Chains A and B, each alone.
Chain A
């Protein structure tokens, strides 16, 4: 039976948490989990239990769940050996616990005996009305609740991407991308063995969760494709859903089979099923994160017509090539738009798309012309290139031996201010026009402290590490939009 919303609330927004099996040894899960919960600043009550009642991280451990006040905690994070967990669940249920994250190993992944123990655990949890996450999972994170109940890192900023994964490590990977890019997470959960609650169950909760704007999932083999399809479609109809699937090739399928013991299906059929379901399928883990970040932070394009807006000529050309390889359309610049831009720029600008300013810009033209471009009726989306070039020059000057003399301080400040201003303008104009404006520069990864990418991050948008990645993300956003438009869902 699928968990209830109330049970999911206990998992993601608990009023109190018990760490069962807290340890004084900093290398043990029972220590790390408690550390992470406390370090992230969780504001509810935190209880910890261990056999001898030792103090861990300033918390006096209880020797029994019985000592937890009734109703004070509704989530238990379990690090105890599998053999003790049935009794533990029963005690927790009596205290009002409605959700359990079981990190303990020794279940379905551990042979016949483990499988039997897992089945018993599931049955007991079901009978007690406890949502059972895991077992053999890495934890659950819910930044809007300042909850970091996990035995791994990191703790990402709060945001609107809901992560669910069949592999715990990919939860960490997605959260690392979140931390680096500043595009935050609403919920993240490692499904572990998915004994009771599966990845589609979590996604189904995200689809109605007000904190979550987009679901992001890592999947491996699946056992009942038809049921999976129905679940994913139901989620995608309510909210965008991005997946990356392991085991898509024959070699990957063998690796997945040994990983989760589940079957990998013919990839062409799987691919058709997810397209039909309206799910965005990404080829790589980073592409999946960037697609989800785009859904979470950009308005939807009404159509495919895209303008490349650039101060960097070569980047404009390769971006035009990248667009030609997608379903996006490089807009043939309308005459009236060309004439309006002519009034703002000297004649050496490209006069076509890519709109290449070719060094024609003065102090104000980048935001001004960007607004003119984005406001035009025939423009559905803009890709903005060349951000950070000025601030990059500033860095060289700032780090050189002549700084701060020779008037450098003033120009360095000016350059950095300008790039920050352009980044903010991209976000503001996008919000005002309701059209996506994606900013891309390699400085996002080569020098994230550059004023350009830093300001994109501060604006709450993703600064794409290359124009190709921005094109891929925009194409995903357009495909999802088109899927909804065609089915009357927008």
Chain B
């Protein structure tokens, strides 16, 4: 069995190994959500967050572009009301609304032949049609990570794009090297997804994260 970590915990685990994650708060109620939003700056997104919630979008548990305190309060109330008993302990995750025209994906997957791998790909609605992905085996160093970025066929997406600056490749390398470090330090890790990584003003920002661990005790699986 593969328990998933909540979005907030997934991000915390990855951030501890150097994956750059945008600031966010997980709070218990509408008032705290408003306070968090005021601290982060509007607009924000609000999502219902819990260990057992892996498919937020499908269940309508994401509210985007909340521009003021009222909107945040309303969204938090609705999200908490939508929680089901089997969701377990839940909270409201409040994060800055990240905008950008480009989406990438990055993650970790365990391959039956090669073991743990780091992945970088072009994301968004055309991700599957393009199948523009690069894999490396964990561990990777910064040189390997640069070569993954270089390997993507859709290089035009990484240059200046629709008025946005070119993608900061070092920041993208930080993501990949951080993922690799997280995999090395977490033997129970089965997979990790940063999807999407929105390119905001040239920097990749993970707006969602999902980490899966296997059920055996720490260190029980390689």
Partner-B contacts on A (CB < 8 A): 222-226, 229, 263, 265-266, 268-273, 275-276, 486-487
B144 & A265 in contact (Cβ 8 Å cutoff):
no
If A272-B137, A272-B151 are given as contacts, then 7 extra A-B residue pairs at C-beta distance below 8 Å, sorted by A number, are A226-B113, A226-B114, A265-B114, A268-B133, A273-B137, A275-B147, A487-B143
B135 touches A226 (CB 8 A): no
Inter-chain contact A276/B144, CB cutoff 8 Å: yes
**Across the interface, do B113 and A275 meet the contact criterion of CB distance under 8 Å?**
no
Does B140 sit within 8 A of A, measured CB to CB? yes
Establish whether residues A268 and B143, one from each chain, have CB atoms under 8 Å apart when the complex forms: no
- Taking CB atoms, residues of chain A closer than 8 Å to B112 are 265
Contact A273 B136 (CB under 8 A): yes
Decide yes or no: A269 and B111 within 8 Å by CB, A229-B137, A276-B136, A276-B137 being known contacts: yes
A402 to B77, CA, bound (A): 99
10 closest Cβ pairs, A-B complex: A272-B135, A225-B113, A225-B114, A265-B113, A269-B135, A269-B111, A276-B136, A272-B136, A486-B143, A226-B115
Question: What is the total number of residues of chain B having a CB less than 8 Å from a CB of chain A?
Answer: 18
Give the complex CA separation of A273 and B133 in angstroms. 13
Bound Cα distance from A243 to B133, whole angstroms? 21
Contact among B113, B131, B143 with A269 in the assembled complex (CB-CB below 8 Å): B113
**Most A CB within 10 A of own CB, among B135, B136, B147:** B135
Residues of B within 8 A of A271 (CB): 135
Given A273-B135, A276-B137, A263:B113 Cβ within 8 A = yes
Give residues 106-125 of B contacting A (CB, 8 Å): 111-115, 117
Shortest beta-carbon distance from A328 to chain B in Å: 14
- C-alpha gap A277/B29 in the complex (Å): 51
User: In the assembled complex, how far is the CB of residue B106 from the closest CB belonging to chain A, in whole angstroms?
Assistant: 13
Q: How far is the CA of A193 from the CA of B107 in the complex (A)?
A: 37
How far apart are the CA atoms of A272 and B132 in the complex, in Å?
12
- Complex formed: what's the CA distance from A14 to B213 in Å? 54
CA distance A81 to B186 in the complex (A): 52
Residues of A within 8 A of B137 (CB): 226, 229, 272-273, 276
Interface assignment of B158: CB less than 8 Å from any CB of chain A: no
* Chain B residues closer than 8 Å to A269, beta-carbon distance: 111, 113-114, 117, 135
The secondary-structure label for the interface of chain B is mixed
Instruction: Please give the distance in Å from B91's CB to the nearest CB on chain A.
Output: 36
Give Cα A191 to B106, complex, Å: 38
Can you give 13 contacting A-B residue pairs, CB < 8 Å?
A222-B113, A223-B113, A225-B114, A225-B115, A229-B114, A265-B114, A266-B111, A269-B111, A269-B114, A272-B135, A273-B114, A273-B136, A487-B143
Q: In the complex, which of the residues A225, A229, A272, A275 has the most CB atoms of chain B within 10 Å of its own CB atom?
A: A272
Residue B134 is within 8 A (CB to CB) of chain A in the complex:
yes
Residues on B with beta carbons closer than 8 Å to the beta carbon of A224: 113
Instruction: Name the A residues within 8 Å of B131 (CB-CB).
Output: 268
Which residue in chain A gives the minimum CB-CB distance to B143? A486
Report chain B residues within 8 Å CB of A487.
Answer: 143
CB-nearest residue of chain B relative to A271? Answer: B135
Min CB–CB distance A230 → chain B (angstroms): 10
Given contacts A226-B137, A229-B137, A268-B135, contact A275 B114 (CB under 8 A): no
Cα distance, A225 to B131, chains bound together (Å): 22
**From A223, A225, A275, A276, contact of B111 by CB (8 A):** A225
- How far, in whole Å, are A222 and B112 apart by their CA atoms in the complex? 11
In residues 81-136 of chain B, which contact A (Cβ within 8 Å)?
Answer: 111-115, 117, 131, 133-136
What residues of chain B lie closer than 8 Å to A268, measured between beta carbons? Answer: 131, 133-135
Q: Which of A224, A229, A269 neighbours the largest number of chain B CB atoms within 10 Å of its CB?
A: A269
Partner of B151, one of A222, A229, A265, A275: A275
Whole-angstrom distance between the Cβ of B222 and the nearest chain A Cβ: 10
Identify the closest chain A residue to B140 (Cβ): A276
Q: Shortest CB–CB separation between residue A485 and chain B, in angstroms? A: 10
Which residues on the A side are within 8 Å of B144 (C-beta)? 276
- Taking the closest CB of chain A, its distance from the CB of B64, in whole angstroms, is 32
Digitize B18-60: 1 where CB-to-A-CB distance is under 8 Å, 0 elsewhere. 0000000000000000000000000000000000000000000
- The interface residues of chain B lying within 8 Å CB-to-CB of A273 are 114, 135-137
Complex: A486 Cα to B141 Cα, angstroms = 11
A residues less than 8 Å from B114 (CB atoms): 225-226, 229, 265, 269-270, 273
When chains A and B are docked, how far (Å) is the Cα of A314 from the Cα of B6? Answer: 60
Q: How close is B139's CB to chain A, nearest CB, in angstroms?
A: 10
Q: Which residues of A sit under 8 angstroms from B134, Cβ to Cβ?
A: 268, 272
Which A residues are CB-close (under 8 A) to B147? 275-276
Q: How far is the CA of A275 from the CA of B137 in the complex (A)?
A: 10
* Min C-beta distance of B121 to chain A, whole Å: 9
Smallest CB gap from B151: residue in A: A275
Q: Which residues of B contact A266 (CB under 8 A)?
A: 111, 113
Nearest Cβ on chain A to B190's Cβ, whole angstroms: 16
Q: CA of A479 to CA of B1 in the docked complex: distance in angstroms?
A: 42
Give complex CA distance A223, B114 in Å: 10
Which B residues lie within 8 Å of A276 (CB)? 136-137, 140, 144, 147
How close is B191's CB to chain A, nearest CB, in angstroms?
A: 14
- In the bound complex, residues from chain A placing their C-beta under 8 Å from that of B111 are 225, 265-266, 269
Cα separation A265 to B135 with both chains bound (whole Å): 13
